[in-house]
Amino acid sequence: MAPVGFIGIGIMGSGMARNLVAAGHDVVVWNRTRSKAEAIESATVADSPADVARRCEIVTICVSDTPDVVEVVEGGAGVLAGASEGTLIVDHSTISPSATIDLAARCSESGVSWIDAPVSGGSEGAARGTLSVMVGGKAADLERARPYMEAYSSSITHVGPVGAGQTVKLVNQVLVVINQLAASEALLLAQAAGVDLKAALEAVEGGAAGSWMLSNRGPQMIERDWRPGFTIDLQQKDLRLVLEAADELGVALPGTALVFQLYRALQRRGLGSEGNHALVKALEELNGLRLGD
């Protein structure tokens, strides 16, 4: 197969790029901090996003926020500076749906196609190759990218035209944080009642109350292991996007807004680099309780 480009070797991108290499693909990587790109063994390190695009017909991107994607694509040494007609950009970042539509339109003027393909599953899913990908764009473009995506995902769903992938990712993030709030409140209730937390988790996770967040983050919360699968700072960025989209659509999301404010309180305490399951710390503060005590 043709070489594939990967831009953004961060908490998610590092695992995704390594899985591409492990699957036997010829991978060209670029990262703002070059040492992170060089850490991807057997990959070729490019000098710029434009250099990636000159080497690869398919360029994947996984960076932090909307301005980062804009810079990587449209900057002086961005993807468009090195792309040719027929290049396909696959954006795995989580960014604004409306900005995605605008970017795709501008790329189209240069004959460059775009699919927005944000992912879910945390750093564990990126490392294990079990991410869920929600894709907006043309079906034919998805099929071009699918053989590469299969290296780091177990679920790839075409959800509609360009921008739809980002919207569905925002739907995903609403569910993530509300489930995290529920897990936090439930475990604090068990703590206050003196119930064994591990036994309580085992009793409920297999029934109607079960969720990915409860099963994967609940044990970390009980052990007070705040290593991030996804950081509070990144979660807040996503929730900002959710609330901006909700405002554009005139939709009230009170639960999401509450979680946003709780995370803001944790950021004020300097905890933004901890895992998003540290949400429970805000509720511990409100209750004068501490899981595990």
| Residues that are catalytic | 169
Closest Cα to residue 159, out of 135, 133, 132? Answer: 135
CA distance 66 to 49: 16
CA distance 100 to 158: 16
- Beta strands 113-116 and 4-7 are unpaired
**100 and 116 in contact (C-beta within 8 Å)?**
yes
**19 and 92 in contact (C-beta within 8 Å)?**
no
**279 and 229 in contact (C-beta within 8 Å)?**
no
